[in-house]
Amino acid sequence: MRDCGKVRREITMSGIYLDHQSAYPVDDRVRAFAEKSLTNDFGNPSALHSRGLAAKTVLEEARAKVAELIGAEGPETIIFTGGATEANNLAIRGLAARNATKGKKLLASSIEHISVLNPLKDLKKAGFEFSLIPVDRTGLIELAALESALSKDTILNSVMYANSEIGTIQPIKEVSELVHKNGLYLHVDGTAACGKIPVDVQKDGIDLLTVSSNDLYGPQGAGALYVKPGIRIQPVSFGGGQERGYRPGTENLFALAGFGEAARLAGQEMAEESARQQAIRDSLIQEILQIKESYLTGHPTKRLPGHASFRFSRIEGESILLTMDAMFGIQVSTGSACSSRTLEPSHVLLAIGLKHEEAHGSMIVTLGKDNSPEQVPAIVEATKKTVERLRAFSPL
Amino acid sequence: MAQIGYSKKVMEHFMNPKNVGVIENPDGYGKVGNPVCGDLMEICIKVKDDRIDDIKFRTFGCGSAIAVSSMVTEMAKGKTLDEAMLITRKDVADELDGLPPQKMHCSNLGADALHAAIKNYWVKIGKIKPEEAKVEEESHEGESCGT
């Protein structure tokens, strides 16, 4: 019965939510599971009495569930963090600090999340340098450029499994072979990919992997960094030695319990759910591209199952977002400069070769469990009317 | 508490903008901004007895850019040209119950477009020299775009 996969939360706002890449609703089953631990298992996992042991059991069960989702060698490979940003920081800074004597060069793709790019920028103060590997117009990393960027004193390469703005899925296995042939470490940001497509750290050859709880319909404020057995990193914060000293601080047990349960459910339901979302995605793409001067951003086939991203000429993305929401009750996202705090267009859209004025017209649709094929006509109609409305105002 | 998102008034003008369109054979025409920056605004005016008799705009841009365009056309309608020249960016933002701080520059081009249209008219009737109209526009364009 498909019903078990629904998020089934109480609907307090009407409309169609299509901005899952920004935030997922917490699955009702995850919430119930996490609430149980919030009520019953309030002990500190580090304490040796029975309350502490009960809490420790909850924590370790969660760890095992996350390890299983990503095909890890065992639960001990998982370091829980306060989210994907923290995990990315720990991976980049921790690897760089640990291997500073080996070399000072760091690599990343040009479309990495800001929580990978900003630690790289900050590490320049500590004497490291970094280069960004370009991607092609579909968002795929240029393997030849990666190969020529590799040198003896390069320590690590960071490449995301899939991009949340354009949906493109990277050839991680090929990247891994190239990176390992040259003796580097490979960090993969799996935030957008885990739970949507099969991610297997051993088969894919991943050294460090970032996982986010909320992207699996788990609570926000929880994440994990997988570190392959045998690889050592340096902690970036110091305290009581929790998480083997890599991420000290009393564990956020409630969120981590939910994270574990979310990972378990994702593992069980991913294949069916992704196929279902892919069908919706494909009809959305087909219908929306009927609009004149509309274009798909990202890769046409190597893309996340629930991800459809577009750009429309002569109109601006924040206006698209506001019109879709206020007029049609549909929540989407955009990579337009006007919607960002910095007023810079998305670095991802510029990296795939879009001009500033092209990047402004971006609309990002990310599907979730609550979306259904029956919503497609309404979404398409709303998009058409929104584009028509804004073009009528446009002097271009 | 700091304001979250756009004011109600901005959303009203964004959803139901006043005076959208073009005027055939306008007396004055102003265009400011740059699509590269994400905001481009044009305003057409009809002048009668030294007053703005009709005014229309078209804008490429974000929510506040469209709301600002709509508001400035409402504010200018019926005013004498000299009065309309006194409308500032801040006046327009105030009438909209404020704009988010990061939007005060880039998308608050309505007053500039209005002034450009009035100057264009003044050039046509020989009140000012073409150079006087141009300089002003360019300086605003530079200010509005960080790229």
User: pLDDT (tens digit, 9 = 90+) per residue, B44-83?
Assistant: 999 999 999 999 999 999 999 999 999 999 999 999 999 9
Which pLDDT score is estimated for A2? 41
Q: Which residues of chain B have pLDDT under 50?
A: 135, 137-147
Are the C-beta atoms of residues A147 and A178 closer than 8 Å to each other?
Answer: yes
A345 contacts on B by Cβ (under 8 Å):
38
Which pLDDT score is estimated for A396? 87
B interface with A, Cβ–Cβ below 8 Å: 6, 11, 14-15, 17, 20, 31, 35-42, 58-63, 65-66, 102, 106-107, 146-147
For tokens 């998308």, name the residue.
B107
Are the C-beta atoms of residues A360 and A317 closer than 8 Å to each other?
Answer: yes
Which pLDDT score is estimated for B46? 97
pLDDT tens column, A316-335? 999 999 999 999 999 999 98
Which pLDDT score is estimated for B4? 73
End-to-end CA distance of chain A: 50
Which string of b and e fits B70-100 if b means at least 16 CB within 10 Å?
Answer: bbbbbbbbebebeebbebebeebbebbeebb
A318 contacts on B by Cβ (under 8 Å):
62-63
Burial class (CB in 10 A: 0-12, 13-18, 19+), B4: exposed
pLDDT tens column, A84-95? 999 999 999 999
Closest residue to A326, CB basis, from B15, B20, B40: B15
- Judged by CB atoms closer than 8 Å, whether chains meet at B11 and A356 is answered as no
A interface with B, Cβ–Cβ below 8 Å: 314-316, 318-319, 322-323, 326-327, 336-339, 341, 343, 345, 355-357, 360, 392-396
Which pLDDT score is estimated for B3? 64
Question: Measured between alpha carbons, how far is B114 from B30 in angstroms, rounded to an integer?
Answer: 7
Which of B49, B109, B114 is closest to B75 using CA atoms? B114
Q: Measured between CA atoms, how close is A282 to chain B, in angstroms?
A: 29
Query: A385 pLDDT exceeds 50?
Result: yes
pTM for this structure? Answer: 0.92
Which pLDDT score is estimated for B59? 95
- Judged by CB atoms closer than 8 Å, whether chains meet at B102 and A336 is answered as no
- Judged by CB atoms closer than 8 Å, whether chains meet at A326 and B14 is answered as yes
Question: Measured between alpha carbons, how far is A379 from A127 in angstroms, rounded to an integer?
Answer: 50
Which pLDDT score is estimated for B2? 61
Q: Count A/B contacts: CB-CB distance under 8 Å.
A: 74
- Judged by CB atoms closer than 8 Å, whether chains meet at B60 and A318 is answered as no
Which pLDDT score is estimated for A10? 45
A327 contacts on B by Cβ (under 8 Å):
15
Q: Measured between CA atoms, how close is A220 to chain B, in angstroms?
A: 21
Burial class (CB in 10 A: 0-12, 13-18, 19+), A302: middle
Which domains does chain A possess?
2-26+270-393 (3.90.1150.10), 28-265 (3.40.640.10)
pLDDT tens column, A145-204? 999 999 889 999 999 999 999 999 999 999 999 999 999 999 999 999 999 999 999 999
Question: Measured between alpha carbons, how far is A267 from A264 in angstroms, rounded to an integer?
Answer: 5
Of all residues in chain A, the percent with pLDDT exceeding 70 is 95
Structure tokens at A4: 């078990």
Q: Measured between CA atoms, how close is A375 to chain B, in angstroms?
A: 24
Q: Measured between CA atoms, how close is B34 to chain A, in angstroms?
A: 9
Lowest mean pLDDT among A6-15, A34-43, B8-17: A6-15
Q: Measured between CA atoms, how close is B147 to chain A, in angstroms?
A: 9
Backbone dihedral region of A298: left (phi > 0), alpha (psi from -120 to 50 degrees) or beta? left
Query: A338 pLDDT exceeds 80?
Result: no
Q: What is the DSSP letter of A100?
A: T
Are the C-beta atoms of residues A153 and A102 closer than 8 Å to each other?
Answer: yes
**How confident is residue A13, by pLDDT bands cut at 50, 70 and 90?**
low
Average pLDDT, chain A: 94
Phi/psi at A183 (5° precision) = 75, 20
End-to-end CA distance of chain B: 32
Which pLDDT score is estimated for B141? 42
- Closest residue, chain B, to A325 (C-alpha): B15
Q: Measured between CA atoms, how close is A188 to chain B, in angstroms?
A: 32
Question: Measured between alpha carbons, how far is A381 from A386 in angstroms, rounded to an integer?
Answer: 9
**ipTM topping 0.85:** yes
**How confident is residue A4, by pLDDT bands cut at 50, 70 and 90?**
very low
A323 contacts on B by Cβ (under 8 Å):
15
- Closest residue, chain A, to B19 (C-alpha): A393
Considering the candidates A23, A32, A114, A338, report the single residue annotated as catalytic: A338
Are the C-beta atoms of residues A219 and A83 closer than 8 Å to each other?
Answer: no
Backbone dihedral region of B93: left (phi > 0), alpha (psi from -120 to 50 degrees) or beta? alpha
Q: Which residues pair with A312 in a beta bridge?
A: A294
- Judged by CB atoms closer than 8 Å, whether chains meet at A336 and B36 is answered as no
Which of the two residues, A270 and A6, has the higher pLDDT score? A270
Which domains does chain B possess?
8-139 (3.90.1010.10)
- Closest residue, chain A, to B102 (C-alpha): A341
Of all residues in chain A, the percent with pLDDT exceeding 90 is 90
Structure tokens at A103: 């070399």
| Residue in A338, A387, A391 to test binding to B, most B beta-carbons within 10 Å | A338
- Closest residue, chain B, to A327 (C-alpha): B15
Structure tokens at A223: 């994440």
Region A67-73: mean pLDDT is 98
A194 is annotated as an active-site residue:
no
SS3 B79: coil
Which pLDDT score is estimated for B108? 82
Lowest mean pLDDT among A283-297, A354-368, B126-140: B126-140
Sequence-separated (6 or more) residues with CB below 8 Å from residue B25: none
